[in-house]
């Protein structure tokens, strides 16, 4: 595939350095309330290489029982902390969707972490887009069509980039092939943070 699927928008450098630093501070505060944990694949229990947490009324979790959204952190049992204000503002400006996001999944990649090709389909409202923010090291992101095994496009995502996945692209297969170590100075200890804002339930 040469281009992006319909409904996918890449906004390179949407957040400048100061805005990226403010987001990292906000995410550090989230991590104090809701530490990163290692999700595992359903049934098998094989660990993800990506560590995760969430903010917002709902959070996406993966454990031996399955994939789902739930209101509490799986390790602490406490509610997820609120979504930081600048992310709610981002959603309002780019999502083109008249209700707020309910979940912000926080993915942390060290230099060896990857995410295999998958679809995001655990949300009841697939009419809402997913809005993604990249912070820290660059990655090679891969996106294809709605059928497994079809052609794909590869894009290098950098710190401050925003990706909006709506319309036909909402059910596109996608993944992260690799991290480019030391490609950013944003995170003192390196690595990459990806934030995805999601609407989960259908609005009444």
Which residues in this chain contact ligand MD3 in the complex, by CB under 6 A?
105, 107, 115, 120, 130, 132, 143, 163, 165, 169-170, 172, 174, 176, 194, 196
Q: Is 161 in the site for Fe ion (CB under 5 A)?
A: no
- DSSP symbol at 168: G
Contact status, residue 64 vs residue 40, Cβ threshold 8 Å: yes
* Cβ-proximal residue to ligand MD3, closest one: 194
Q: Which is nearer to Fe ion, 33 or 178 (CB)?
A: 178
Provide the sign of the torsion angle of the four alpha carbons 122, 33, 179, 154, taken in this order.
positive
State which of residues 102, 120, 137, 138 lies at the interface with Fe ion (CB under 5 A): 120
CB nearer ligand MD3, residue 132 or residue 204: 132
The least distance separating ligand MD3 from the CB of residue 16, rounded to whole angstroms, comes to: 20
Residue with Cβ nearer Fe ion (120 or 138): 120
Dihedral (Cα; 173, 176, 177, 182), 10-degree rounding: 160
Residue 137 binds to Fe ion (criterion: CB under 5 A):
no
Closest contact distance (angstroms) between CB of 32 and ligand MD3 is 21
Interface segment toward Fe ion; rule CB under 5 A; list 57-65, 116-124, 150-158, 162-170: 116-124
Q: How far is CA 78 from CA 24, 31, 156, in A?
A: 22, 13, 36
Which residue do the tokens 């660990």 mark? 47
Q: Give the integer Cα–Cα distance in Å for 97 and 84.
A: 18
User: Which spans of this chain sit near Fe ion (rule: CB under 5 A)?
Assistant: 120
């Amino acid at each position: 595939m040469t281009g992006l699927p319909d409904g996918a928008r890449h906004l390179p450098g949407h957040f400048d350095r100061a805005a990226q630093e403010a987001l990292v501070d906000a995410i550090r505060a989230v991590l104090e309330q809701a530490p990163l944990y290692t999700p595992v694949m359903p049934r098998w229990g094989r660990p993800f290489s990506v560590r995760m947490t969430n903010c917002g009324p709902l959070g996406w979790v993966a454990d031996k029982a399955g994939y789902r959204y739930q209101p509490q952190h799986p390790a602490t049992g406490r509610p997820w902390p609120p979504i930081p204000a600048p992310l709610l503002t981002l959603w309002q400006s780019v999502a083109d969707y008249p209700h707020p996001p309910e979940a912000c999944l926080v993915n942390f990649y060290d230099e060896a972490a990857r995410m295999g090709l998958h679809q995001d389909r655990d949300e009841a409202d697939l009419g809402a887009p997913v809005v993604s923010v990249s912070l820290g090291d660059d990655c090679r992101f891969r996106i294809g069509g709605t059928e497994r095994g079809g052609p794909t496009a590869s894009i290098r995502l950098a710190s401050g980039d925003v990706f909006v996945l709506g319309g036909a692209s909402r059910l596109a297969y996608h993944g992260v092939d690799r991290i480019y170590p030391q490609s950013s100075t944003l995170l003192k200890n390196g690595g990459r943070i990806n934030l995805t804002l999601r609407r989960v339930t259908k609005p009444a």
